[in-house]
Amino acid sequence: MKKLPTSILQPLDWLLPAGVGAATTLRSPGLSEGKFAGLNLGTHVGDDPQAVEQNRQMLSAALGDRVMPVYINQVHGCNVIEINSDDYRKACLQTAHTNLSSDADVLYTRDQNLALVIQVADCLPILLADKNGREVAAIHAGWRGLAAGIIRHTLEKFESNSLTAWLGPAIGPCHYEVDNAVYDRFTSTTAFKPCGDNVHWMMSLETVAKEQLLEAGLDESDIVATSTCTYCHEDYFSYRREGQTGRFAALIWITSNQASD
Ligand SMILES: [Zn+2]
């Protein structure tokens, strides 16, 4: 039943603004082995660094010569990094991709040909684009980031208030059990279903994110939610399903500015 994608870059079911590209990766194809088997893109999970480097090279190659992927050290905070080509050139030197040494959970850019990469295995990847294709952002949204206002912090970076959002594969309410300490951090009445023991809840990261985007002024029609559970779908890495495991990616980039060209 396992499908083997021939391409590393999986197109999204999301109507993108002209001049914007976006994709996800899956577990395969890729060169990591064992627990990380496939296209693990995370350097922080205990995998062989050489295998991760080769996987990242594969992703770089799939993006072509012009588009350069940029990775960050994700820390479940809500720090937003705005990258521009100068920063990129400084950090990148001659490599085919770069891992900015900064700790952050959001990348934002107005520059072309920089692919903002978010690595996940159950946390929610959120991609945002201005409808004129001039600004994009990628968010690593776990419960901590969502509770700390990571979406609001990201939206503050945008000049445009005409945005479209994509909520990617993440652990779903079918498998994401959290306790009262997490529940108490949110006001949502629809993102949590009681487990019946007065202590635990099944949480939907996607529902929380969607509510926060609506609250911030996006229209329902501007939010695309994949509603794909990473625990249920073995095409994706899932931390809750597997414990130590790899990370897949969601990424977005600007290819050219279209609005008034
Ligand atoms: Zn599930």
- Ligand 1 centroid to Cα of residue 195, in Å, is 15
Please, which residues have CB less than 5 A from ligand 1, an ion?
172, 174-175, 229, 231-232
Enter the tokens of residue 182: 């997490």
Enter the tokens of residue 134: 């001039």
Closest-CA residue to 193 (of 213, 207, 209): 207
- Ligand 1 centroid to Cα of residue 13, in Å, is 20
14, 87, 88, 131, 194 from 159: Cα distances, Å: 22, 20, 21, 12, 39
- Rounded Cα distance between 193 and 251, Å, is 31
Rounded mean pLDDT, 185-189: 92
- Ligand 1 centroid to Cα of residue 159, in Å, is 36
The model's pLDDT over 87-109, given as tens digits with 9 standing for 90+, comes to 666 666 545 566 776 789 999 99
The model's pLDDT over 57-89, given as tens digits with 9 standing for 90+, comes to 999 999 998 898 999 989 998 889 998 777 666
Cα angle: 72, vertex 77, 79; to 5 degrees? 65
Q: Are strands 223-225 and 163-167 parallel, antiparallel or unpaired?
A: parallel
| pLDDT tier, 2 (very low <50, low <70, confident <90, very high otherwise) | very low
Global confidence as pTM: 0.93
Closest-CA residue to 157 (of 65, 79, 41): 79
100 touches 240 (CB < 8 A): no
Fold category of 20-170+228-254 in CATH: CNF1/YfiH-like putative cysteine hydrolases (3.60.140)
| pLDDT tier, 153 (very low <50, low <70, confident <90, very high otherwise) | very high
So what's the pLDDT on residue 102? 76
Laid out side by side, the sheet with 106-109 consists of 80-82, 106-109, 136-141, 124-130, 163-167, 223-225
Looking at every residue in the chain, the average pLDDT score rounds to 91
| pLDDT tier, 4 (very low <50, low <70, confident <90, very high otherwise) | very low
**Residues in Cβ contact with 53 at an 8 Å cutoff, skipping those fewer than 6 apart:** none
- Ligand 1 centroid to Cα of residue 175, in Å, is 4
